[in-house]
Amino acid sequence: MIAYIENPITEQKYQRLSELGKDLKVPSMGAFLTVEVFDDQGRPLYAHKQRSHSWNRNAYNWFLCQVALVTRHNTFFGDGALTVKDISGTIHADYAGTIGWNGRLDTAFPYLAAAGQTNQGILVGSGTSPEDFDGHALGSLIGNGTGAGTLTYQAGNKQTAVWNSSTDTFSIEWLRYFNNNSGGAIDVNEVALVGRLHCFASSVWYQNVMFCRDVLASTITVPDTGQLKVTYIIELAYPE
Amino acid sequence: MTDMSYTEKPETEELYREMERLGQELKVPVPSSFLKVEVFKDGHNIYAHKQRSHSWNRNAYNWFFSQFGSASALGTTFEAGALTIKETSGTIRNDNSRGIGIGTRRTTARCIEDVNDTTDNFGYRVTAGTDDFSILVGISNTPEDFNHYSLQSQATHGSGSGQLDHAQTEPPVKSWDGTTRMFAVDWVRFFNNNSAGDIDINEVALVGGIYAPFYTSYDYGRMVMVCRDVLASPVTLPDTGQLKVTYTIGLVFP
């Protein structure tokens, strides 16, 4: 059983936003996050679901560049600029294409990471610093491995959108497993979604860009030999 | 000089603002879209109104969901439950290995904001005379439909009866308002009536040269209508008059 821990007052606001979007035909993207922990026998030890609260400046700039079909504006990363800051802190502001995913057959999905990859897809960390709209990376990334303080990052799976005809909603789940073979318990405090997208420049087509970082309400401990499962669900309600 | 009247109904305007406030508070991007229609005759502004654009359509929704969800096309139809694109020609694009949107540019020498012609097909900005994408206008008052993929009766380019000379799309104007925290982009296009008769404009559309997934070459986009606004009443463009249409697309930042 997964506990839904969203504050009822904010949940009401999210639902109102979705209703308004349907009524007015204005798309507003919903995002949920589930975090589950299993023991070495696959038995559930912990599970919760919440709203993801943290589309950041990168995500906003991505959205506006797509919907308005424009390229970058200014060269800094802040109010009044349309740029991207990748997870290394580099700002991308070339005057060329826009920000987005064009889904080439020979390139990966933005959120689809390979096993061991810690610069794309769902990432986790131990940092507790508050979410920041201008944040571009996890506060303290938990690395891939089997040494102390590391988790073994599994590969993501290609996902397919699902249509719910009762709610007129498209949703898609991106999930990732992390195995703890470090010899000790590991505390997880933050989760992020990092996409690999075109960001203006043609010489280096893809950049790894964090679009949301959720700081968990309380620390989640993954025991030694345990498994962590993190799922981001992105949805859009249609005005059918 | 005619004052620009804001024709949005107060009750719906309040709902749009409520939605923008909630989006800002919850950090959920909510696009704002406005439409301005102006008419000039002999250099004088004889008509002007501004309203909300009410009509992001299925193409737009599928585009946005594909981008943010990293979702590839699904299904072969263009209806609820299908994640496809319907071009203005009526062709449905649905290659299930690709996403919808633009992620690159045509060549190293061209920008998405540069003027494009029908061999490039990227973005909203086109050459004079191009009437298959960018801002387009028409004479039909058929109600807006979420599934519409083209104008219902387009006023094509030309100087014959019922036609309009389509000017080049203006370069986009980007602005940041630190008070409202809105980043806005204005897309403008002029249309000149040299048809020797009046033309009643009833519908306006935004058609993007969007890289719809589904194509084996990534060198050019497909023409995709993402919104179509039917005007509350016909706007008459007199002979030798000029029509100016502005779409303002914005986002209120947290």
Average pLDDT of the segment spanning A70-88: 94
Average pLDDT of the segment spanning A160-188: 96
Tokens for B66, please give them.
């594909």
Residues from chain B that touch A132, judged by Cβ atoms under 8 A, are none
Asked if A24's CB is within 8 angstroms of B15's CB, the reply is yes
Average pLDDT of the segment spanning A52-73: 92
Asked if A14's CB is within 8 angstroms of B178's CB, the reply is no
Flag whether pLDDT at A65 surpasses 50. Answer: yes
Average pLDDT of the segment spanning A96-100: 76
**Better-predicted residue by pLDDT, A95 or A68:** A68
**Pairing relationship of beta strands B44-52 and B5-6 according to DSSP bridges:** parallel
Identify the weakest region by mean pLDDT among A55-64, A164-173, A189-198, B213-222: B213-222
Residues from chain A that touch B134, judged by Cβ atoms under 8 A, are none
Residues from chain B that touch A161, judged by Cβ atoms under 8 A, are 65, 69, 71-72, 74, 83
User: Which pLDDT band holds residue B216 (cuts at 50, 70, 90)?
Assistant: very low
User: Which pLDDT band holds residue B97 (cuts at 50, 70, 90)?
Assistant: low
Candidates B68, B97, B177, B187: best to mutate against A (most CBs of A within 10 A) is B68
Which B-chain residues 7-66 have CB contacts (< 8 A) with chain A?
Answer: 12, 15-16, 18-19, 22-23, 25-31, 33, 54-58, 60-61, 63-66
**Better-predicted residue by pLDDT, B184 or B4:** B184
Flag whether pLDDT at B68 surpasses 60. Answer: yes
Query: What's the confidence (pLDDT) of residue B33?
Result: 97
Flag whether pLDDT at A197 surpasses 50. Answer: yes
Average pLDDT of the segment spanning B107-111: 59
Break chain B down into helix, strand, coil percent, rounded to 5.
10, 40, 50
**Better-predicted residue by pLDDT, A205 or A192:** A192
Interface membership of B186 toward A (CB under 8 Å): no
Average pLDDT of the segment spanning B234-246: 98
Query: What's the confidence (pLDDT) of residue B39?
Result: 98
**Better-predicted residue by pLDDT, B100 or A74:** A74
d(CA B10, nearest CA chain A) in Å: 14
User: Which pLDDT band holds residue B102 (cuts at 50, 70, 90)?
Assistant: low
Q: What is the pTM of this model?
A: 0.95
**Cβ atoms of residues A158 and B98 within 8 Å:** no
Asked if B54's CB is within 8 angstroms of A103's CB, the reply is no
**Pairing relationship of beta strands B222-237 and A84-85 according to DSSP bridges:** unpaired
The closest CB to that of B61, out of A16, A103, A238, belongs to A238
Flag whether pLDDT at B178 surpasses 70. Answer: yes
Query: What's the confidence (pLDDT) of residue B94?
Result: 78
Q: Which of B141, B122, B124 shows the shortest CA–CA distance to B200?
A: B141
As a whole-number percent, the residues of chain B with pLDDT over 90 amount to: 72
> What's the CA gap between B122 and B106, in Å, rounded?
7
> What's the CA gap between B134 and B22, in Å, rounded?
31
Asked if A101's CB is within 8 angstroms of B27's CB, the reply is no
Asked if A63's CB is within 8 angstroms of B251's CB, the reply is yes
Interface membership of B249 toward A (CB under 8 Å): yes
Query: What's the confidence (pLDDT) of residue A203?
Result: 56
Flag whether pLDDT at B214 surpasses 50. Answer: no
> What's the CA gap between B81 and A159, in Å, rounded?
16
**Taking the domains of chain B in order of start, what are their residue ranges?**
5-252
User: Which pLDDT band holds residue B111 (cuts at 50, 70, 90)?
Assistant: confident
Average pLDDT, chain B: 90
User: Which pLDDT band holds residue A215 (cuts at 50, 70, 90)?
Assistant: very high
Contacts (Cβ under 8 Å, ≥6 apart) of A76: A83, A91, A93
User: How many other CB atoms are there within 10 angstroms of residue B13's CB atom?
Assistant: 14
Flag whether pLDDT at A117 surpasses 70. Answer: yes
User: Which pLDDT band holds residue B209 (cuts at 50, 70, 90)?
Assistant: confident
Flag whether pLDDT at A11 surpasses 80. Answer: yes
The closest CB to that of B70, out of A20, A53, A195, belongs to A195
Asked if A69's CB is within 8 angstroms of B146's CB, the reply is no
Flag whether pLDDT at B211 surpasses 70. Answer: no
Q: How far is CA B238 from CA A93, B49, B154, B162, B197, in A?
A: 44, 17, 17, 11, 7
Query: What's the confidence (pLDDT) of residue B235?
Result: 98
Average pLDDT of the segment spanning A171-188: 97
Query: What's the confidence (pLDDT) of residue A109?
Result: 75
Residues from chain A that touch B66, judged by Cβ atoms under 8 A, are 101, 103
Flag whether pLDDT at B114 surpasses 90. Answer: no
Residues from chain A that touch B12, judged by Cβ atoms under 8 A, are 24
Identify the weakest region by mean pLDDT among A94-108, A125-139, B84-98, B192-206: A94-108
d(CA A226, nearest CA chain B) in Å: 29
Nearest CA in chain A to B212: A102
Identify the weakest region by mean pLDDT among A204-208, B155-159, B207-211: A204-208
Asked if B101's CB is within 8 angstroms of A66's CB, the reply is yes
Average pLDDT of the segment spanning B105-124: 67
Asked if A66's CB is within 8 angstroms of B63's CB, the reply is yes
User: Which pLDDT band holds residue B71 (cuts at 50, 70, 90)?
Assistant: confident
Asked if B103's CB is within 8 angstroms of A102's CB, the reply is yes
Asked if A69's CB is within 8 angstroms of B61's CB, the reply is no
Q: What is the 3-state secondary structure (H, E, C) of B51-109?
A: EECCCECHHHHHHHHHHHHCCCCECCCCCCCCECEECCCCCEECCCCCCCCCCCCCCCC
Query: What's the confidence (pLDDT) of residue A105?
Result: 46
Flag whether pLDDT at B234 surpasses 80. Answer: yes
Flag whether pLDDT at A1 surpasses 90. Answer: no
Identify the weakest region by mean pLDDT among A20-34, A48-62, A102-116: A102-116
Average pLDDT, chain A: 92
> What's the CA gap between A77 and A6, in Å, rounded?
31
